[in-house]
Amino acid sequence: MSRDFWKAFARNRGAVVGLAILALVVLAAVFANLIYPQSPWDMAAMPFQPPLSDDALLGSDTLGRDIAAGIVHGARVSLLIGLSSTAVALLIGVTLGAIAGYHGGVVDDAIMRFTELFQTIPNFVLAVVLVAIFTPSIANITIAIAVVSWPPLARLARGEFMALRSREFVQAAITTGQGTGTIILRQILPNSLSPIIVSASLTVATAILLESSLSFLGLGDPNVMSWGYMIGAARTVIRQAWWMSFFPGIAILLTVLALNLVGEGLNDALNPKLARKGRA
Amino acid sequence: METGSDILLDVRDLTVALPQGAERPNAVENVNLRIARDEILCVVGESGSGKSMTAHAVMGLLPGPHVRVTGGEIAYRGRDILTMGGAEQRGLRGDRIAMIFQEPMTALNPLMRVGDQIEESLKAHSSMEQSYASKAARRARVVELLTDVGLPDPESLRRSYPFRLSGGQRQRVMIAMALALEPDILIADEPTTALDVTTQKQILGLIRTIQAERRMGVMFITHDFGVVAEIATNVAVMQHGRCVEAGPAAQVLNQPRHPYTRQLIAAVPHYIEHRGDFLKRGDALLTAEKVRKVFHLGGGLFRKGRELVAGDDISLTIHPGETLGVVGESGSGKSTLGRCIVGLNKTDGGRILFQGQDLAALSRNQFRPVRKDIQMIFQDPYASLNPRHKVADIIAQGPVAFGESRSKATARARELLRLVGLPESAADRYPHEFSGGQRQRISIARALALEPKLIIADEPVSALDVSVQRQVLDLLEDIRHRFGLAMLFITHDLRVAAQVCDTIAVMQRGKVVEMNTAREVFQNPQHAYTRTLLDAIPGKGWEIPEELRTGTAGLAGRGAVA
């Protein structure tokens, strides 16, 4: 990791572009209050202003709110929910996967059947139900998204742990008297991280999509501006005012695309053996 | 090479370039080889010597575009293969020049019946060989070939899938495939390395018979001088991509001239006559009584899986300071025994008494204090060290787990590194910066860190090149004397066991069939299976030249670091 890592990462040009886009989104989220100090919910212009009007760069919506301000502020929610729900999903998924993969046998069977329970229910439906039951707030949406996104991570971690636990260095750790916790955390986990990180970067992208879809359905946090909400609110006037849904849509598209590109780059850099050939 | 009249393959000044940034510019440099009719040329060398690259260059199997031939020529009956067109080269491959590979387990397509795979090469060349144009003719030929390579019941074997066959049988199928079109030249790339000794003996015999019957020229690549002594007519020794010595087998084997050849021959493990008998003193350190281990394969909640008996009634004893060699072929249960003793596997019966305590009856937690006394050295030096940990941490992990302070354990790790012949600076580096032999030294240091009484060494040198193997064996020998260690040395190679062990236990199908002093086992084997194993040692008819026997050569190798 470090110089070699960056070299390998930079070799994938798409990943560098993705990282640049992602950096822009992060900057927008961080400096949202500086760029658009006013609340994105405030009326800033006449309603239905097309893009490039005097007081609204990307136009205004049905209530005269600035679309550009909404996008910049919406970036916060998208990133926040994307990252924190992935963090929670990682915590649940990797923990369960590690225990299942390391112990195998009955423990593995029990945990995997539990995981399958979640996998058989369609992701989005479950998320909708959870949010509907627990009232939409940022915390609840995050948890709902985490609950539906951990199973693939658990499966991945389980596979990695299963493959690594029979490796000789793990057995050597057992014979030198290390405890199970130490072996899982110090010996196996660091060796299984690369594919998990790659997969997590893609989970962030899915989480952002999920959050947008929930907001689109009106299940977003009513107190924060989000891209999904903007599209949802504009869908009735999509034929008269395309820009209201177009720009937030582009924001989602670019962010998710950037995350996927970065994920691919991470894959090339972290798993050099799996990197697709022919690029060198 | 006096039979110059009938040269089949003439490799002249062959140079194969490696991509930029590799450890050396050329994989093969100015190599000259000649194979005549009726002769077996053994190309000998350690890993990375370029011996396989040479063979692959002949077969057009180089991993292009980065690795390619940059100079010289490869002439088949006087015509340079390298200047031929693609179609012509393909016509030659399989038809006139055939190849067999090292790994019989992966060289066959698992989803195709064995007979169909052999038939495929007949079909591919059927435009030239009119006789194989009809399906029935090809069928008949397949059965004939399978009979020729000594496979039982060829008619039904033809319709089997590869997974039903053992390693030896698969290698026979590979040979049948190579022989399908009666090639002039057979290239065999370490064809017996992955096989058990007794199977190796059969395959070597088969290759020799077939070569003589069909008057072929064979290029046989190997790292084992025993195998060379067994079958070679001529020998070429390769080192770092260059051919350092070539000549008739008798001359190279008995009067080696180049220092590298001498070093390789001196490193061939062999029985040491002058070793004093081990005197058993005191009580046994470890006694295994009727140890039994059954593996349950497959199965699940509702069905019962297959059972595999790996250990069935294993009994043996080790005394303090004794090195007990456990010898046997794959599947004999020797590794299972070792793993049961260190508590990696649970036994299904019998007792393992260590200093009077039954290890088999201990739970995982109760076992923990014993781990200090029994340590293990693993086979694969590339898999046994955690790639994400520094060497010092790897060695110190045991003492730290037993409550030693990190600084003290690390200081001790540095001492141990010096002890196993590595510089102290190795402590701050990661395992990938070391060679296989050096890694095995780190492994040994890790095992020593807990100051054990017994070390289980599971094939500790079988993944290493011979010269490195020799150094690691010397190190083990040195260490066990210095610390008065007892060692259970698991190996498939009787020659290695002969060199390091006081006592030898021969295992077959989960049982110890014979246990005696190394001298008795070698000079006066009692059990029929022991005799079969001894008989299968490659090159047993060949005596290593006097001046290269252990003692002198062993000491010379000790100073150098693997």
| Predicted confidence (pLDDT) per residue in B504-546, tens digit | 999 998 889 999 988 888 888 999 999 999 989 888 878 888 7
Residue A175 has its nearest CB partner, among B342, B379, B380, at: B342
A222: pLDDT strictly greater than 70: yes
**Residues B176, B291 within the same domain:** no
Q: Name the average pLDDT for chain A.
A: 89
Token representation of residue A9: 């990462």
The DSSP secondary-structure symbol of B465 reads -
Going by pLDDT thresholds of 50, 70 and 90, the confidence category of residue B126 is: low
pLDDT of residue B152: 85
Preferred mutation among A176, A183, A194, A270 to probe B, highest tally of B CBs within 10 A: A176
The answer to whether residue B519 sits within a structural domain is yes
Question: In this structure, are B162 and B311 located in the same domain?
Answer: no
A81-122: per-residue pLDDT in tens? 999 999 999 999 999 999 999 998 899 999 999 999 999 999
Selecting from A168, A173, A190 the residue whose C-beta is nearest the C-beta of B397 gives A173
- Average of per-residue pLDDT across B58-69: 83
Please report the pLDDT score of residue B422 as a whole number: 93
Is residue A96 within 8 A of residue A154, CB to CB? The reply is: yes
Both B343 and B461 in a single domain? yes
B369 and B486 together in one domain = yes
Say if A177 is an interface residue toward chain B (CB within 8 Å): yes
With pLDDT > 90 as the criterion, what percentage of chain B qualifies?
38
pLDDT band at residue B286 using 50, 70 and 90 as cut-offs: very high
The residue among B341, B367, B386, B450 with the most chain A CBs within 10 A of its CB, best to mutate, is B386
Residue B336 covered by a domain: yes
- Does residue B158 contact residue B115 with C-beta atoms inside 8 Å? yes
Q: What range defines the domain where residue B346 resides?
A: 286-373+452-559
* B362 C-beta neighbours (distance < 10 Å), count: 17
pLDDT of residue B2: 43
- Residue B156 placed within a domain: yes
Q: Are the beta carbons of A175 and B368 separated by less than 8 Å?
A: no
* B405 assigned to some structural domain: no
Read off the CATH number of the domain in which B365 is found: 3.40.50.300
* Residue where a domain terminates, one of B163, B180, B197: B180
* Of B288, B370, B368, B323, nearest in space to B483 by CA: B323
What is the distance between the alpha carbons of residues B368 and A204, in angstroms, rounded to a whole number?
A: 42
pLDDT score for A147: 94
**Of B4 and B246, which is predicted with more confidence?**
B246
Q: Which structural domains are found in chain A, ordered by start? A: 3-44+60-270 (1.10.3720.10)
Q: Which residues contact A189 (CB under 8 A, 6 or more apart)?
A: A94, A98
CB A84, CB A142: distance < 8 Å: yes
Q: Which two tokens stand for residue A100?
A: 């299942």
How close A275 gets to chain B, by Cα (Å)?
A: 18
* Mean pLDDT calculated for residue range A156-171: 93
Does B333 share its domain with B480? yes
Q: Is the CB of residue A61 less than 8 Å from the CB of residue A233?
A: yes
**Is there a domain that residue B513 lies in?**
yes
Residues 6+ apart with CB under 8 A from A52: A59
Task: State the smallest CA–CA distance between residue B125 and chain A in angstroms.
Answer: 32
Asked if B383's CB is within 8 angstroms of A177's CB, the reply is no
Q: What is the pLDDT of residue B185?
A: 92
Domain boundary among B149, B180, B211: B180
**Distance, CA of A173 to CA of A186 (rounded, Å):** 10
Looking at the DSSP bridge assignments, the partners of residue B237 are: B44, B245
Closest alpha carbon within chain A to B401: A178
* Packing angle of the helix pair A67-103, A105-120 (nearest 10 deg): 150
Chain B residue numbers touching A172 (CB-CB < 8 A): 376, 378, 384-385, 443, 446
**Amino acid A1: pLDDT:** 52
Is residue B108, in this structure, part of any structural domain at all? yes
Which residues of chain B have a CB within 8 Å of the CB of A175? 342-344, 371, 374-376
Nearest beta carbon to residue B388 from set A167, A177, A191: A191
User: What local confidence, expressed as pLDDT, does residue B561 receive?
Assistant: 40
Least confident of A206-220, B4-18, B365-379, B513-527: B4-18
User: Amino acid letter at B302?
Assistant: F
In a domain, B426, yes or no: no
Could A176 and B375 be called an inter-chain contact, meaning their C-beta atoms sit closer than 8 Å? yes
In this structure, are B175 and B313 located in the same domain? no
To the nearest whole percent, how much of chain A has pLDDT over 90?
56
A176 touches chain B (CB under 8 A): yes
Asked whether the beta carbons of residue A171 and residue B378 sit closer than 8 angstroms, the reply is yes
Taking contacts as CB-CB distances below 8 angstroms, the residues of chain A near B67 are none
Among B122, B150, B180, residue at a domain's last position: B180
The answer to whether the CB atoms of B397 and A175 lie below 8 A apart is no
Question: For residues A69 and A94, is the Cβ–Cβ distance under 8 A?
Answer: no
ipTM entry: 0.80
**SS3 label, residue B271:** coil
| B312 and B173 fall within a common domain | no
φ, ψ at B188 (rounded to 5°):
-115, 115
> Domain total for chain B?
2
Q: Percent of chain B at pLDDT above 70?
A: 93
How does pLDDT run across B382-418, given as a tens digit for each residue?
899 998 899 999 999 999 999 999 999 999 999 999 9
Based on the fold, state whether residues B174 and B291 are members of the same structural domain: no
- Does the residue B124 lie in any domain? yes
- Inter-residue contact B446 to A168 (CB < 8 Å): no
